[in-house]
Amino acid sequence: MRMAMIGLGKMGGNMARRLCRGGIEVVGYDRSGDAVQKLAGDVGMIAADSTADAVSKLASPRIVWIMLPSGDVTEAQIDELAQILSTGDIVIDGGNSNYHDSVRRGAKLASKGIGFMDAGTSGGVWGLENGYCLMVGAEPHVAAMVEPILKALAPAPDTGWAHVGPVGSGHFVKMIHNGIEYGMMQALAEGLALMENKKEFVLDLAKITELWRHGSVVRSWLLDLTAEALQSDKTLEGIAPYVSDSGEGRWTVIEAIEQGVAAPVLSLALQMRFQSQDDVGYGFKLLSLMRNAFGGHAVKEQHENH
């Protein structure tokens, strides 16, 4: 099976590697020619020098997966693909797009006979090794055509991926996933900050988080990453207490407001990220450290300006 991957950055590049290793032929394009050539040399990816070149190297029905920043960049790429793809072809958006945009884009492509899948993708920088959790929205026939690709990317062919509903539902589920992630991270960071502040007990947070990983009801991958990071840096003195948000946490809170559904934990976790820009504390440093551990998001050093 052959497909194209447009966008070979931190996520797209690793996904292309996993696909090639899983027996999927990948035609790859990125505006960075160096990224294209490296993947071609490392895993035998088929190099393309433009979107049109990538599409020309596919046989019908053509499947094009894009891994680009949400917003205008993704919009422009889908508009370009709409002009060069044909009836029966499929576009997959694996980035963190707003689900409202995905519904609109799916309808626009459908009017041209082109299938669309919105693929909420979780796994961060660890996805290459462990596989990606994929939450996909699409028409049933589109999901069936893409299934071999999903199986190659997932942790195992029968786990870690699901066709969750129609177009838009994949990015909706991923949005809620990220909102929950905010709340889980905030709870861990606040609890550890309380222990770090209890100076008279001289608590070893690396030891305690490692303890919690085994048999505790709060064990999780986030805890695993936090425990591992604290083994090498307990004070976090070099990390600025500044925590960015990717946008999906905001969209989750907006959705809660629009639905009239109470989501106080998710809402407050988002507000705490905003507060981190004006506050100093161990908990914010831990949040920044966690984001780096699972997603490779940049960590601001203490001397950097916000």
175-295: CATH architecture = Orthogonal Bundle (1.10)
- Among residues 151, 181, 248, 285, the one annotated as catalytic is 181
Domain ranges of the chain: 2-166, 175-295
Q: Is the per-residue pLDDT at 243 higher than 80?
A: no
Instruction: Please state, in angstroms and rounded to a whole number, the distance separating the CA atoms of residues 204 and 191.
Output: 13
Domains 2-166 and 175-295 share a fold: no
Cβ proximity of 70 and 97 under 8 Å: yes
pLDDT in tens, 11-42: 999 999 999 999 999 999 999 999 999 999 99
Longest dimension (CA), the chain: 69
Which CATH class name applies to 2-166?
alpha beta
- Among residues 38, 112, 174, 248, the one annotated as catalytic is 174
3-state secondary structure of 47: strand
Instruction: Please state, in angstroms and rounded to a whole number, the distance separating the CA atoms of residues 104 and 109.
Output: 9
298 burial level (CB within 10 Å; 0-12, 13-18, 19+): exposed
- Residue 181 falls in the annotated catalytic set: yes
pLDDT in tens, 194-217: 999 999 999 999 999 999 999 999
Q: pLDDT band for position 302 (50/70/90)?
A: low
pLDDT in tens, 44-59: 999 999 999 999 999 9
- How many other CB atoms are there within 10 angstroms of residue 199's CB atom? 7
> Pairing state of beta strands 63-66 and 2-6?
parallel
- Residue 80 falls in the annotated catalytic set: no
Q: Which residues contact 92 (CB under 8 A, 6 or more apart)?
A: 63, 64, 65, 66, 116, 117, 118, 119, 146
Give the mean pLDDT of 223-241.
Answer: 83
Give the mean pLDDT of 129-141.
Answer: 97
Distances (CA, A) of 42 to 2, 23, 47, 49, 74: 18, 14, 12, 17, 27
Average pLDDT, the chain: 92
What is the H or E stretch that residue 262 is in? none
Displacement of CA 302 from its chain's centroid (Å): 26
What tokens does 129 get? 């090794």
Handedness of CA 216, 221, 224, 226 (dihedral sign): negative
Q: pLDDT band for position 306 (50/70/90)?
A: very low
pLDDT in tens, 153-188: 999 999 999 999 999 999 999 999 999 999 999 999
Residue with tokens 């990606």: 132
Distances (CA, A) of 265 to 173, 220, 276: 18, 18, 17
3-state secondary structure of 142: helix
Asked if residue 140 has a cis previous peptide bond (ω within 30° of 0), the answer is: no
Instruction: Please state, in angstroms and rounded to a whole number, the distance separating the CA atoms of residues 25 and 76.
Output: 25
Among 73-77, 263-267, 299-303, the range scoring the smallest mean pLDDT is: 299-303
